[in-house]
Each structure stands twice: as structure tokens, then as C-alpha cells.
Amino acid sequence: MSVLESLQAHESGRVRGPIGRTLDEMRRLEYHPAARTDTPGSHQHRLVYDCEHQTRLPGTLRRREAQPPCDDADVNRAYDGAGTTHEFYRTVFGRNSLDGHGRHVISSVHYGVQFDNARWDGAQMLYGDGDGVVFKSFTRFLDVIAHELTHGVIYNETRLGYEGQAGALNESLADVFGSLVKQWAHRQTAAQADWLMAKGIFRPPIQAKALRSLAAPGSAYNDKRLGLHDTQPAHMRDLVTDEIRDPVHTNSGIPNHAFYLFAKALGGHAWETPGRIWYDTMCTGLRENCGFATFALQTLFAAEKYGTTTVEALTRAWRLVGVLED
């Protein structure tokens, strides 16, 4: 997220310290595409560990599948969030876990000290507690959990890289499905949903609604005192081309907004037709350097079976964000 980059030079050490350490740690963390305890089956299997503020993974096992809640709220939220995400992919798309073959979902909470992020590292989830000044604990947000786990799905289904427009698509898919899991869990229609990622993750008195907004990219946070300003574009004319401030989490605003516009135009539950079209598109084997326009055309192919009204609404959405020309 570009929030971290914005805050890394903050004058207060209470803000700057944990942010700087989180960014250092994020650079150090590697991606481990190999599975750790992969024993496929038809039932979901969750394991939640506690890092006890160390950075050794996975840590101490606290809760395994079918065990009752333990006395650690972060453990229980990581467990429940992985469960809801699993149920979403299973019932909505008939997908059995992140790899489609029932892989175990391992999560580790209390990662590091005041760690300001959550991450899928290719083999497992890790969650920081937040610094207690800017951020709350990352396990509190179902859409954050589903966003990170979706990175595991994206890794299995696509070759999308993590740079340029492909990287922004990677982030956008994680946001779209992250938001859909939340909408599905609350049985919300597109009109009822807030379309925010991690609503309330910033601690008061910070002037911020959430990390990102799919409905209005660029409006999630604006706190002058902290020097925080949401720079996500909602249109191609504002595409960020410099590589300084986390462009993948910035330019994702454009495809995020196209999905939102499409879902709003169709009405009803966004995980139904729009979600299915995005899911089918994700599963077509998107290339490493897939751009927004190629992705948009793929969604139009996937939309064809839903008829002309759907295709027209989708075309309009991609035009409104400037990805397809009028």
C-alpha cells in the first residue's frame, strides 16, 4: 500500500519507526511458491500459528481445523476469515481452496513487532498486529484476509507479474475478490455494499475511511496532518507512471472502478454475474505482462454468454475508466 511509503519519513518516531521497520521487513520477505504442508483433500483444513512477535515462520500452532476458538482474538479471526474465504470460493465458484485442490491454509498471526501489513507469502498467510498508532490489527478485516488469500488463487491461475499494469491487475483482482467475499458474507447487493477495502483500519483521529475505495478511488484517506493523501486514479488519464510510490496499489484503482461500475450497472449481487466473469477471466491464463486493455477484452469474451445487455454494460464500464476507447 502506498500509505506506508507516504508515512516512512513522518516527523514522529512513533509513526515512522514501525512503518520503516515494516517496509524493511516487506523487502526482506521472500515469496515461497512451494507449499509447506500440502496434503490435498476435499475438506478444508486450516492451521493457525502464533509468531509471538518474532519473524520465524510459522511459529507455535494455536488452532487447527475443527478446534474450538482459543483465547486469542487474532488467531480466531484469521481462522474464521480463512474459512469464510474458502466457503466463498467453494460455493460461488466451485473452487476447492487456493490451488483448487484442497490445499491447507496456514496462517501466522502476531508476526513481528508492530508489523503494519498482512501478506500471502506463497506458502502461508502472515498478519501483523498493526502499530497501534496508525493501523489496527490486520486480522480485523475480512476483505484484507480475502485479498491476501486471493493472491494465492491468482498465483495458481495466472502468470501475472507484480509490475506495471499486470501488477496493478494482480492487486485489483485481490481487491475485487476481497470485496466480494465481504459482500457475500453480509449478503449485500452492489447497491448496499460499501466497496471499501479495510474500512476503519486507520486509528482515530486519522482522517481516513479505509485503505482503498472501489466506488471512488482516491477518496479513501486524506489526512493533511499525517501527510496522507489517497492518489488512486479512477481513469487512464491519471495512470501513475513513475515507479516511486507503489504503483501496483495505486493503478489498481482503474480496474477496481471498472468492476464497481459494471456491478452497479447490473445491480443485484456482485459476486454473481460480475464476479463470475472476473473469475472466469482470471482462469484464462493471464500472461505475465497482461495490460488493462487485454484484460478488458478477456472480460468481454467471458461476458458473452450473459447476453448483449451484460456485454454493453461491461463495455460502458471499461470506457468510463478510459481503458477501452469510445
Q: Which does 118 bind (CB under 5 to 8 A by kind): Zn ion, ligand ASN, none?
A: ligand ASN
Alpha helix (H) residue ranges in the chain? 2-7, 13-28, 73-93, 142-157, 164-185, 247-251, 253-266, 273-282, 292-303, 308-320
User: Rule CB under 6 A: is residue 151 a binding residue for ligand ASN?
Assistant: yes
Q: Of 45, 104, 249, 269, which residue is the catalytic one?
A: 249
What CA–CA distance (Å, rounded) separates 83 from 104? 11
Cβ atoms 84, 181 nearer than 8 A: yes
CB neighbours of 204 closer than 8 A, spacing ≥ 6? none
Question: Which DSSP symbol is given to 69?
Answer: P
249 is catalytic: yes
DSSP letters for 121-171: -SS-EEE----SSSB--GGG-HHHHHHHHHHHHHHHH----SSHHHHHHHH
Residue in the shown chain whose Cβ atom is closest to Zn ion? 174
Q: Which is nearer to ligand ASN, 243 or 304 (CB)?
A: 243
Residue with cell 505482462: 289
Question: Would you give the binding string for ligand ASN spanning residues 77-116, x where CB under 6 A is met?
Answer: ----------------------------------------
Task: Based on the residue annotation, tell me whether 257 is a catalytic residue of this protein.
Answer: no
From the list 25, 148, 157, 171, the catalytic residue is: 148
Instruction: Write out the three cell numbers for 200.
Output: 476503519
- Judged by CB under 5 A, the residue of 7, 149, 174, 313 near Zn ion is 174
Of ligand ASN, Zn ion, none, which one does residue 74 interact with (CB within 5 to 8 Å by kind)?
none
* 47 or 154: CB nearest ligand ASN: 154
Kindly tell me which residue out of 3, 118, 125, 153 binds ligand ASN, with binding defined by CB under 6 A.
118
Cβ of residue 105: shortest distance to ligand ASN, in angstroms?
A: 16
Query: Which is nearer to ligand ASN, 74 or 171 (by Cβ)?
Result: 171
- Determine if 148 is a binding residue for ligand ASN (CB under 6 A): yes
CB of 313 vs ligand ASN, minimal distance in Å: 28
Omega before residue 233 within 30° of 0, cis: no
Query: Is 38 buried (19+), middle (13-18) or exposed (0-12) by CB count in 10 A?
Result: middle
Shorter beta-carbon distance to Zn ion: residue 138 or 271: 138
Which residues of this protein are in contact with ligand ASN, per CB under 6 A?
117-119, 148, 151, 171
Which residues carry out catalysis?
Answer: 148, 249
Which residues of this protein are in contact with Zn ion, per CB under 5 A?
171, 174
